[in-house]
C-alpha cells in the first residue's frame, strides 16, 4: 500500500451507507480545486490497458449552466440549476491519442485502438468505470453528489462539448449537504445471494 491516509470504516460508512443521491445542497460553493484534488486521486483507479478515457467539464458560468439545464429532462432541470457545481462526465473517444504517454510499456498501444467503433465502446465502458471511482472520491470529501443521466446527451455534446471527441455520460450535481435531508426514502439493494454466485 502506498496510500498516505488509511481508509477508515467511517469513510466507508460515509461513502456507501450515509451517502445518498443528493437532491438539494447548502449554498456553500464547491471550488474547482476540490474537484481537481479528487480527480488527482481517482485517476489512479484501474482501467483497461490504462486507457483512462474519463473527461470532465466543470460547468461554472451561469450562461453555460443554463445551456446545460436546457438539455436536461424536465424533472432534472431545477437541480442542475441550483447545485453549487454541475459537472458533465464524459468519455473521450479519442483517448488513444494519449496512449504513448499512458502506456509506455506497450509500444504502439495506440494502434490497437485504430477501429473507431471499438474505441467508442471502450471509451464508454472505461469512462463509466472511472465515473464510479469519481463518485466515491467526491463522497469521501464530504460532498453530496447527485448523478443524472436523464438528459439529451447528443444535445450536450453538440452544445457544450463541440470540437472534441468527448461524449457525455451523465451530469454530477455537487455541493455540501443541505440542512434538511431531501433524498427519497432509501430504496433497498440486492442481497449478496441474489447478486453473487460461487462457482
Ligand atoms: C448513472 C445514473 C443516472 C441517474 N440519473 C438520474 C436522473 O436522471 N434523475 C434522477 O432524479 N436521478 C438519477 N439518478 C439517481 C438514482 O436514481 C439514485 O442514485 C438511486 O436511486 C440510488 O439512490 P440513493 O443513492 O439515494 O440510495 C441516477 C443515478 C445514476 C448513478
Q: How distant is the alpha carbon of residue 100 from its chain centre?
A: 25
pLDDT at 7: 59
Q: Is the CB of 20 under 6 A from ligand 1?
A: yes
Q: Is the CB of 181 under 6 A from ligand 1?
A: no
Cα-only R_g, the chain:
18
pLDDT at 4: 54
Q: Is the CB of 172 under 6 A from ligand 1?
A: no
CA dist., res. 76 & res. 81, Å (int): 9
pLDDT in tens, 63-93: 999 999 999 999 999 999 999 999 999 999 9
CA dist., res. 194 & res. 128, Å (int): 23
Q: What are phi and psi of 67, to 5 degrees?
A: -65, -45
pLDDT at 9: 66
Q: How distant is the alpha carbon of residue 178 from its chain centre?
A: 21
Neighbours of 139 (CB within 10 A): 20
Q: Is the CB of 150 under 6 A from ligand 1?
A: yes
pLDDT at 1: 47
3-state secondary structure 37-68: HHHHHHCCCCCHHHCCCEEEEEECCHHHHHHH
Q: Do the beta carbons of residue 158 and residue 68 sit within 8 Å?
A: no
184 CA closest ligand 1 atom index: 26
pLDDT in tens, 3-43: 555 656 678 888 999 899 999 999 999 999 999 999 999 99
Quick one: which of 36, 4, 29 has its CA closest to 137? 36
Domains along the chain with CATH numbers: 20-172 (3.40.109.10)
169 CA closest ligand 1 atom index: 1
Is the pLDDT higher at 162 or at 1? 162
Q: Match 452544445 to its residue by C-alpha cell.
A: 159
CA dist., res. 188 & res. 72, Å (int): 27
User: Which residue, judged by its Cα, is nearest atom 6 of ligand 1?
Assistant: 148
Q: Is the CB of 178 under 6 A from ligand 1?
A: no
Which region among 43-57, 137-151, 172-186 has the lowest average model confidence (pLDDT)? Answer: 172-186
Amino acid at each position: 500500500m502506498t496510500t498516505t491516509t488509511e481508509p477508515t470504516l467511517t469513510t466507508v460508512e460515509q461513502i456507501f451507507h450515509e451517502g445518498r443521491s443528493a437532491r438539494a445542497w447548502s449554498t456553500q460553493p464547491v471550488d474547482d480545486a476540490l474537484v481537481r484534488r479528487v480527480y488527482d486521486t481517482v485517476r489512479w483507479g484501474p482501467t483497461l490497458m490504462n486507457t483512462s478515457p474519463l473527461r470532465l467539464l466543470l460547468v461554472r458560468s451561469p450562461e453555460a449552466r443554463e445551456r446545460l439545464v436546457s438539455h436536461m429532462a424536465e424533472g432534472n432541470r431545477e437541480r442542475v440549476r441550483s447545485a453549487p457545481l454541475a459537472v458533465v462526465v464524459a468519455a473521450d473517444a479519442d483517448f488513444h491519442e494519449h496512449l504513448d504517454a499512458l502506456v509506455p510499456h506497450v509500444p504502439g498501444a495506440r494502434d490497437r485502438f485504430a477501429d473507431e467503433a471499438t474505441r467508442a465502446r471502450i471509451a464508454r465502458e472505461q469512462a463509466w468505470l472511472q465515473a464510479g471511482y469519481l463518485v466515491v472520491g467526491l463522497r469521501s470529501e464530504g460532498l453530496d453528489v447527485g448523478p443524472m443521466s436523464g438528459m439529451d446527451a447528443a444535445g450536450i455534446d453538440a452544445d457544450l462539448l463541440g470540437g472534441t471527441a468527448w461524449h457525455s455520460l451523465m451530469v454530477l450535481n455537487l455541493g455540501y449537504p443541505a440542512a434538511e435531508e431531501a433524498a427519497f426514502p432509501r430504496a433497498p439493494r440486492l442481497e449478496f445471494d441474489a447478486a453473487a454466485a460461487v462457482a
